[in-house]
Amino acid sequence: MKAAWVPENVWHIEQREDDLQIALLRRFVRTQKVLKTASLSGFSALPELEKPSTVAKVLGKHSNPTFLSLGRDQGIVRQLRLPVDVQQDLKSAITLQIEAISAWPEQEVYWDYLAEKSADNPKMLTITIVIIPRAVLDPWLRFFESIGVVLSGASVAGFDVNVIPLNMRSKSARLQLVTTGALAACIGLVAVAFLLRGPYQQHIYAAEIQREISRLEPDVKSLVRQEGEFNALSTRYQVVLGQLRSRDGNLDALKTLAITLSPDTFLQNYRYQNETVTISGVSSSALEVQSALEKTPVFRDVQFTAPITRDPSGKDRFTITMIIEARP
C-alpha cells in the first residue's frame, strides 16, 4: 500500500470469482480505514453486465480515485533482477523483455513494474512486472466509462502495481496532484543522489548493458519468429511421423517382393501374420531368392522352413519365412 500523506477516500473494487467486492477506504500515511463495503454477484466474465446501474448506485457520484483489482488468473506476474544503475533507463530495458516473458506482443498488453532493492544484494534491483492483456482489461475500462467512472488504476490481486497508462487514468484532486508532484520530486532527488554517489565502474557497466540490449533487440525478435516457425515445423513432423508409423507393413512386403524377386521366380503362396511373411514357390535357384531377400532393408531372419525340392521342370521348390524389420 502506497503512503497517502494527506487524508483521502479511495474506492477499491476487487473481482473474486463471480463477485465484485467494493470498499470505500480512508487512507492516511500508511493506515487505512474501511468506510463502506458492498458485494455484487454475476461478474465472472464481465463486462457486458446486465445491470451496470447496480455498480453505479453503490459508487454514487464522487471524485474519489477508483482502483480495480482483477483475479490472479487474469494476468501474469514476473520478476527480474538487474543492476541498480540500469534504473536510469529501466523502462526501456523491461520493454524488450515483455514479449519474452508473456504470451502476447507488447502492443497487446497493459503492464507496469515495481522496482525494489534486493535484500541479499544492494547493488541489484528486484523488478516485479504485472502484465494484463488488453483483451481482459479493455472491457472493464469500457464498462466503468459507461457508468461515468474513469479508473485511476488496475492490477491483479496482491500487487500494488498500476498497469493503466498515465494518459488513461482519472484526474486526481488538486491537493492530490500537488502531493504526488512533491513525492515524485523527492523520489527524483533521492534517485539523483543515489546515482551521483555510485562508483564510476557501475556507470560504465550500465552503459555497456544498454548497448548490449540495443544490439540484441533484433536478434531477440528474430529468435521469437524462428521459434514460431520451428513449432510449426515440429507439428508437421509429428504428423508425418505418425503416418509413417501407421503405414501397412503388408504393402511394404508385397512391394519389396515384386521388386526383388527375379523374373524366373513364381510365388504360389503368400501369407502375412503379425509382421511375419511366409512365401512358397519355384525358382531356378532358391538360394539366390534367400540371398536377395536378406539384402533388402525390409526383411530379416530370412529362413527356409522346408527342404528345397526339385519340380518336374527342374526348378527349385521352396518355402521361406521372414520377419518385417521394425519401423521407426
Give the type of residue at 226.
Q
**Alpha-carbon distance 94 to 129, whole Å?**
9
pLDDT of residue 4: 59
The verdict on 53 and 146 lying in the same domain is: yes
Please say which residue of 197, 224, 246 terminates a domain.
246
Written as nine digits, the cell of 56 is 453505479
Task: Give the per-residue pLDDT at 175.
Answer: 47
304 vs 284: CA distance, rounded Å: 16
Q: CATH number of the domain at 283, please.
A: 3.30.1360.100
- Examine residue 122 and state whether it is found in any structural domain, yes or no: yes
* Cα Rg of the chain, angstroms: 37
Tens of each residue's pLDDT in the chain, 328 residues: 566 567 788 888 888 877 888 888 888 777 888 888 888 876 655 555 555 667 877 887 767 888 999 888 889 898 888 888 877 788 888 888 888 888 788 889 999 988 888 878 888 888 899 999 999 899 888 888 888 888 889 999 888 899 998 888 765 444 455 566 677 777 877 777 667 776 777 778 788 888 888 888 888 888 888 988 898 888 888 876 665 554 567 888 888 898 889 989 999 999 998 889 999 999 999 999 999 999 998 899 999 999 999 988 889 999 999 998 876 5
**Burial readout 235-256 (b: 16 or more C-beta within 10 A, e: otherwise):** eeeeeeeeeeeeeebeebbeeb
Q: Considering the domain boundaries, does residue 264 fall inside one?
A: yes
Residue 52 lies in a domain: yes
β-pairing, 316-324 with 309-310? Answer: antiparallel
> Which residue is listed with cell 523488478?
127
84 and 50 in a common domain: yes
Q: Do 158 and 254 fall into the same domain?
A: no
Q: Do 17 and 156 share a structural domain? A: yes
Query: Can you state the angle between helices 286-294 and 249-260, rounded to 10 degrees?
Result: 130
Nearest Cα neighbor of 298 from 254, 246, 243, 267 is 254
Q: Is residue 124 part of a domain?
A: yes
Contact 65, 72 (CB under 8 A): no
Query: Is there a single domain that holds both residue 22 and residue 76?
Result: yes
Considering the domain architecture, whether residues 147 and 229 belong to the same structural domain is answered as no
What confidence score (pLDDT) does residue 277 get? 93
* Nearest CA among 142, 105, 104, 311 for reference residue 154: 142
Could you report the per-residue pLDDT of 48-83, keeping only the tens digit for each?
555 566 787 788 776 788 899 988 888 989 888 888
Name the DSSP letter for residue 74.
G
The domain boundary, picked from 140, 155, 171, lies at 171
Which of 246, 274, 299 is the endpoint of a domain? 246
Q: Which domain holds residue 215?
A: 210-246
Is there a single domain that holds both residue 253 and residue 242?
Answer: no
Q: Check whether residue 26 and residue 111 sit in a common domain.
A: yes
